A and B are shown apart, each in its own frame.
Chain A
Amino acid sequence: MKRSTVRLLAPVVALAVVGVSCGDDDDAPDESARGRITEVQAGDSILDAVIEADSLRCGVRADLPGFSATNEAGEHEGFDADFCRVIAAAVLGDATKVEFVDVETAARFTALQAGEIDVLSRNTTWTASRDGTEGATFLHPTFYDGQAMMVAADTFTSIDEMDGAVVCVAGGTTTEGNAAAEFERRGLTVEVSSFESVDLLQEAFLAGSCDGWSSDYSQLNSLRANYPEGSEALVIFDDIFSKEPLAPAVIDGDTAWAQAVNWAILSTIQAEEYGLTSDNVDEGLTHDDPNIVQFLGGENVDGTVLDTGIGLPPDFAYQVISQVGNYGEIFEANLAPLGLERGVNALWTDGGLQYAPPYR
């Protein structure tokens, strides 16, 4: 091409690029690299996107045994991972249609905001700031936890002896603030060291760099069970000094999806209340109590099937219980081996906090 032709065409091309880039934003729904609808507009819900893609992207972690960790085969196992399967079973009818996405603590809310994951099930505490500033909507807490302190055996017997102690935490969570608040409340001084990874924290603790290790009580149990020097080398104090309701979260502004996920979770609690387990759920379809039959999406004696209109198939509870299990089964399978007891996570009929609204 002649130089003069190039010089003529170049600004035209530049202006064309400018024009195209300016005109494009609001015509089509924003599509992420995976072709999903990631921006909620009128009529679009993540529920529809998940059904259309036939797979649920669930944000979890890979390093907390009991809640969410990968086994030798690379599959995710744990309490939070099982609740991902519960949601997939409810929405898609198949508990295996989950795509587990490991998210770092620092990136978990940005992943949700950006639409990289559909639901976050990663032992995340429900707080007001996260409802607000982080743009998340939290659903029914699956585990009511609290923050506790773990020390090496034979060093301290209670937090009150730890004036001026060095407490190590895995950072980026509510843990630092809670630890500092608790020591302030007791009139003690503390140095809080905030690590990014649990592995380096464990190295520091083994080398004697920390007096105490603070985290959620459930996490401490898991970490203690996997401590290299054995779990007898560590002692977890009984004082729980914060409220940490761990709940799955979805993004703000999508009520349909939030309600669908919420009822998927609540169905496990309701199932335990009805005494339905993965073994006897088939008998529930022909139960005398019509509430149980309707709950499972079965046909009543008169041929009617209850459809509550929350966007889930009528038999979602049946799929959840038969493929994953009820709340008690999920708890027993994942958290009981860590030594955790039901405590406040028992059903309301047993004096705990797990209470599902009626399915009617």
Chain B
Amino acid sequence: MTAHATPAAPSPTPRDQRGHAAVPPWRDVRNLAWLFQFAVVLGAIALVAWLWGNYQDRSAASNIPSSFSFLNQPADFPISGSDFRRTQPVRAAIVEGLFNTLRLVVAGVILATVVGTLVGIARLSKNFLVNKAAQVYVEFIRNIPLFALLVLMYSAVVLRVLPDPRPGRGGSWEWGPVAVLNTRGIGVLWFEGGNLRFVLVVAVFAVVGAVTARLRRRRSDATGAPARTGLWGGVAGLAAAAAVWALLGLGISAPELSGLRTTGGIVMTPPYAAALAALVIYTSSHIAEIVRGSILAVPRGQGEAANAVALSSFQRMWFVVLPQALRVGVPAIGNQYLNLAKNSSLAAAIAFPELTQIVGLSVANRSPAVPAFALLLLIYLVISLVLSALVNLANRRLAIVER
């Protein structure tokens, strides 16, 4: 019998304490990954530092200031539609511009959501006319640039539809005490007596209405009678609000025409009206598509089940389909809100004194450009972050609870 020599076993791979194969550190993948990340971060910091240094050098060479001290300088320009005096500092002007932007953004977000949801639902209607009309609206508006829409709304719609108040050219439209319309502005019935008290009245309405609705719901669950929470809550809330209104001594201010000017009420200037209309139309067309998509994402079985338990079509939409659809759609709709907030800066082109225009005016009146526009970017960043935080809050509350 021949003895076969057993081949020698290969020597075992050297291993460290954790059982990993021992590798010299400059070849160790974990080290290299960390080093690469460190190098990229260093590169990014170096780039920013170089840009900053470049900016400082060039400003110093041309004797241009590059600090934020311009905020304390007198603004030297007036702002239409406010009590701002030109001797006030630039930072007060920026605050004024911020309020104007927020007026546009808040009203725009609310209106765009309402209109967008309605159009989105209309897109899914069985009625041929409604469906096609919504389709044409969405397809047309989605595919035109917002700036063109804005200029069109201002020059072709707002300025042409509204009447010229000058004598001999038509005169304003006066709709009783409710509204006065002309190319100087749209005056609408408004309250007078202070913003804080009005907010209190609204709060009372909301609280009383909610409490009444909840009581009715409890009654309805106990006895089986129809709850009609909307009716009861609304009436009770209105009654309480009216009582508080009278108690706080708030009044109503009706718009009146005196000469060419509209006094009283609240006046929406043509730039504001045009900017709001353009933003709402544009954003709502995008929201409509998101709503349509998210409704289609709800399983068909849900709608069929709702029919099976004899819910009316409104109840089916409101209680079954929309809540599930919104869970899918809220992040995308939140994105559209951010777009609206940033697109509001285009209103500067039609003389609406919002934030971008105010900063532009201050730069034209001796504020240094780079710090001013950097501040503008920061403010828009904060607005967007706040908006997206609110949307995330809503998203978390509506989130699909997975079992």
Task: List residues of chain A with CB under 8 Å of any chain B CB.
Answer: 4, 7-8, 10-11, 14-15, 17-18, 21-22, 25, 39-40, 105-106, 109-110, 113, 129-130, 132-135, 152, 155, 164, 166, 168, 171-174, 176-177, 179-181, 190-197, 200-201, 203-204, 206-209, 211, 251-253
Contact = CB atoms under 8 A, between A and B. Distances in A.
Interface stretch (B130-138, B164-172, B319-327, B386-394): B164-172
A111 to B, nearest CB: 11
A153 to B, nearest CB: 11
Contact of B159 (A10, A40, A135, A203): A203
A200 B151 contact: yes
Contacts of A21: 43, 46-47, 50
Contact of B351 (A173, A181, A200, A206): A200
A181 B86 contact: yes
B349 A7 contact: no
A262 to B, nearest CB: 19
Nearest to A203: B155
B62 A172 contact: no
Interface in B37-63: 38-40, 42-43, 46-47, 50, 53-54, 57-58, 61-63
B78 A176 contact: yes
Contacts of B365: 129, 174, 177
Given A22-B46, A176-B78, A192-B80, A106 B166 contact: no
A110 B26 CA distance: 49
B61 A253 contact: yes
Interface stretch (B14-22, B214-222, B294-302, B366-374): B366-374
A257 to B, nearest CB: 13
B212 interface: no
Most chain B beta-carbon contacts within 10 A, residue among A22, A192, A209 = A209
A168 to B, nearest CB: 7
B270 interface: yes
Given A132-B366, A133-B368, 20 more contacts: A7-B29, A10-B32, A10-B36, A14-B43, A18-B46, A25-B54, A109-B369, A113-B58, A134-B64, A135-B62, A164-B261, A177-B86, A180-B86, A194-B353, A194-B357, A196-B348, A203-B159, A204-B183, A204-B351, A208-B169
A193 B80 CA distance: 6
Contact of A211 (B54, B260, B364): B260
Given A164-B261, A191-B80, A208 B32 contact: no
A37 to B, nearest CB: 12
Contacts of B155: 200, 203
Interface of B: 26-27, 29, 32-33, 35-36, 38-40, 42-43, 46-47, 50, 53-54, 57-58, 61-65, 70, 76-81, 86, 151, 154-155, 159-160, 162, 164-166, 169, 182-184, 260-261, 270-271, 348-351, 353, 357, 360-361, 363-369
16 contacts: A110-B369, A113-B64, A134-B366, A171-B357, A176-B78, A177-B76, A191-B80, A192-B78, A195-B349, A195-B351, A204-B183, A207-B159, A208-B182, A209-B270, A251-B62, A252-B63
Nearest to A133: B366
B164 A208 contact: yes
Contact of B361 (A113, A164, A176, A181): A176
Contacts of B349: 195-197, 200
B42 A253 contact: no
A40 B61 CA distance: 8
A352 B255 CA distance: 52
B32 A180 contact: no
Given A15-B39, A208-B166, A133 B64 contact: yes
A209 B184 contact: yes
Given A7-B29, A177-B76, A204 B270 contact: yes
B304 to A, nearest CB: 53
Contacts of A11: 32, 35-36, 38-39
B61 A106 contact: no
B40 to A, nearest CB: 6
Nearest to A197: B349
A39 B59 CA distance: 11
B361 A7 contact: no
Contacts of A168: 351
A105 B349 CA distance: 13
A222 to B, nearest CB: 21
